[in-house]
Amino acid sequence: MIIDSHVNLHAPQYDDDRAAVIDRARGAGVELMVNICDRVSNFPACRAIAEAPDIWCTVGTHPHEAKDDPNLSAATLVDLAADPRVVGIGECGLDFHYDLSPRDIQARVFRAHCAAARETGLPLVVHTREADDAMGDILEAEHAAGPFRMLMHCYTSGADLARRCAALGAWFSVSGIATFKAAEDVRAVIRDMPATRIIVETDCPYLAPVPHRGRRNEPAYVPHVLAKLAEVRGWSLADAEARTTAAFFDLFDRIPRP
């Protein structure tokens, strides 16, 4: 089964041809997609995409947007996550590269997501960029307060943070970045990820994989990511598909297994 675990189909980049993009994904063999919420205020648009039976969604606020909802509560996230089409909490986390929200607000909002994941039992979809030490410290502290499952989405951070997260039982998702010529450091980390906790994503409309790099990304391109993962790990394509499918349903367990 080919699954795109992280799409942003409600993004304005798809306003002119959203239905065609979804049809192309299905034509490419993509059987499930998870539409990721970028901010709680945008949840209705994100949720609307998940009316389709093969598309699910999450609820959360990206660190870039944390400044617009600095007092976001776990209770708000828990209430929205009661919707049966919601299968995860996030995308949330820390981004110290762009710093579009103050770091203290990013951390406060991120901790609210951790609490919501703990309360709901839904997996936390984590964004982290240039924040390895702070991310590891928060995840370890929050996990010690009560365990929850987590996905380190589009993982491109360092090997030390990957080890810390793996020790907490984290899953990791591989994106089109793994296909980029200059991304050998990313591929090196992929080689050491826990074999039973790796899934794939596009993060569309961003990060189109080779041979589509530079274009708008879309879920129909996720087979290229799967093929690169198979190559990097030394798996057959069939094995990579089976492994990532099993890992996906282990993580997103609100979605019925086929």
What digits encode the pLDDT tens for the residues 35-60? 999 999 999 999 999 999 999 999 99
Per-residue CA distances from 139 to 38, 90, 91, 136, 172 (Å): 20, 14, 15, 5, 14
On whether the CB atoms of residues 173 and 225 are closer than 8 A, the answer is no
152 contacts 124 by C-beta, under 8 angstroms: no
Q: Give the per-residue pLDDT at 136.
A: 98
Asked whether residue 138 is domain-assigned, the answer is yes
Encoded tokens for 114 = 């951790």
Q: Which residues have CB under 8 Å from 23's CB, separation 6+?
A: none
Nearest to 257 by CA among 209, 231, 247: 247
**Residue 258 maps to a domain:** no
Judge whether 177 lies within some domain. yes
- How confident is residue 61, by pLDDT bands cut at 50, 70 and 90? very high
H-only helix segments in 168-212: 184-191
Residue 256, domain member (yes or no): no
Residue 141 domain flag? yes
Rounded to the nearest integer, the mean pLDDT of the chain is: 98
| CATH number of the structural domain spanning residue 235 | 3.20.20.140
Domain span at residue 149 reads 2-251
Residue 243 amino acid letter: R
pLDDT at residue 185, rounded to an integer: 97
Spatial distance between the Cα atoms of 59 and 42, rounded to a whole number of angstroms: 9
Q: How many domains does the chain have?
A: 1
Residue 198 DSSP SS3:
strand
186-201 residue pLDDT tens: 999 999 999 999 999 9
Sequence-separated (6 or more) residues with CB below 8 Å from residue 44:
none
**Euclidean distance between CA atoms 138 and 136, whole angstroms:** 6
Confidence of residue 116 (pLDDT cuts 50, 70, 90): very high
CB 98 within 8 A of CB 9: no
Q: The whole model's pTM is what?
A: 0.98
Chain mean position to CA 141: 21
